[in-house]
Structure 1
Amino acid sequence: MISARAREDALLIWDYHQMGHVLRPCSVAIGLGSHDLGVADEAVRLYERGMAPLLVFTGATSPTTAARMPRGEAVHYRDRALELGVPDSSVLVEPRARNSGENIRFSKALLEDNGVDVSSVLLVSKPYEERRAYATARQLWPEVDVVSASAPMVFEDYLASIGDERLVIDMLVGALQRLLIYPDQGFMIRQEVPDIVMQAYERLRGDGFTSRIVPG
């Protein structure tokens, strides 16, 4: 069972992870691979709204996705987009990336190889990965404008959609830890974390929501 306090702390971190960017048309939309097929669905919705003329799906597999997406996250995302009516000519697949940094670097290289002129990028991720995606892209692809987006869901609805509350909270905590430690390693820009969010993060770590923590 997840305590009421843990849920409140998780909600604080959930809200912090979302950037609240105003959506606008970009050169390309990049769907960041994960266990959540809803990322592909949201990328398609944005494509249909005219927010990007081209979709890139990026991601290999991980221990979290190997069973659910055995052919790779990007490949399954592409299949979903085609199923929803996106033409094959509007989708590129980057199947090698195993972390957020590789998502950005490999997608950038793929677009360059295909002669796509990119001045702005619409990053589509899970709701609690918006800030991580933004911070990574600003560090590794600073010459483009970056807009972060995700499916517009409230926290409780997202928990219900995934069906594993502990996994989601573990990932919220893990995503915030990376925002704290990766700037020193050159993987992300540094961003201010409010004290109230840090306190919630420390309590959740103390309560054992640590399966997605980077060791060391």
Structure 2
Amino acid sequence: MQDRSLRIPSDDEIAAINARHLIETPLRPADLLFVFGTRVDVTERVEAAVRLWHNGLFRWSMVSGGVTPGDHRSECSIIKAAMVARGVPAERILEEHRAQNTGENVIFSLPVIDAALGRDSIKSVICLGNTWTARRYPMTLQRHWPEVEKMLVTVDTFATPRALWHTDPEFRRRVLSEWDKIEPYKANGFIADWPVS
């Protein structure tokens, strides 16, 4: 069976992905920055988190991510240490060290947030993750925590501009792979529609 992520998308599919998946939201100060764990483009994710902190765009951060093959440290440990080294106060960063996927990032982090801050005290969240995964971060949050306002910041190391993702073979493969997960994940109840119209 052919890997669908290797296809060349039509102009209509490119337009749909640009409009509905690679969403950019206006940013305003949020109660919480939710940093989804990764082993890819860690430096860019940390730099974005630090920039958001220094610009006064969040009061607390939740960093979530477990141990992955090749390292004994969790994604959370690696990302938090780098954020602290760049000036984000350690006591402002909540930790979750077990998650192995986006759903677990949210499911395992919610009790941590509730215990430390009280979920009801959090009214707005900025989701921070990879460009190609894009709206799946806030869609996952929407499924488990619909009442908070969600904003989205994404990062990557591709030299190709985001709007031209389809012209770079690896960027295209990553975007199409994530885009193809949206409907099955919705059907299985893993994610929920966001933004809500």
TM over 0.5: yes
1:71-105 alpha-carbon deviations (Å, 9 max, x no partner): 12111100110111112111111111111111112
Equivalent residues, number: 178
1:60-81 alpha-carbon deviations (Å, 9 max, x no partner): 144xxx33x5412111100110
Alignment pair present for 1:175 and 2:181: no
Distance (whole Å) between structure 2 residues aligned to residue 24 and residue 156 of structure 1 = 27
Is the 8 Å Cα contact of residues 32 and 39 (structure 1) preserved in structure 2? no
**Aligned match of 2:147:** 143
Gaps of 5+ in 2: 1-6, 163-167
Q: Map residues 82-101 of structure 1 onto 2, 5 A cutoff.
A: 82-101=84-103
Alignment pair present for 1:53 and 2:77: no
Is the 8 Å Cα contact of residues 13 and 172 (structure 1) preserved in structure 2? no
Is the 8 Å Cα contact of residues 37 and 75 (structure 2) preserved in structure 1? yes
1:32-55 alpha-carbon deviations (Å, 9 max, x no partner): 111221212211211111110111
Distance (whole Å) between structure 1 residues aligned to residue 159 and residue 9 of structure 2 = 9
**Aligned match of 1:198:** none
Distance (whole Å) between structure 1 residues aligned to residue 110 and residue 181 of structure 2 = 22
TM-score by length of 1: 0.71
Quote the sequence identity (%): 23
Q: Map residues 12-161 of structure 1 onto 2, 5 A cutoff.
A: 15-16=18-19, 17-34=21-38, 35-37=40-42, 38-62=44-68, 66-67=69-70, 70-116=72-118, 117-151=121-155, 156=160
Q: Secondary structure at 1:146's aligned position in 2?
A: strand
Gaps of 5+ in 1: 159-164, 193-216
2:187 aligned to which of 154, 160, 184: 184
Higher strand share: 2
Aligned residue identity for 2:37: G
Distance (whole Å) between structure 2 residues aligned to residue 166 and residue 154 of structure 1 = 11
Across the aligned residues of Structure 1 and Structure 2, the Cα RMSD in angstroms comes to 2.9
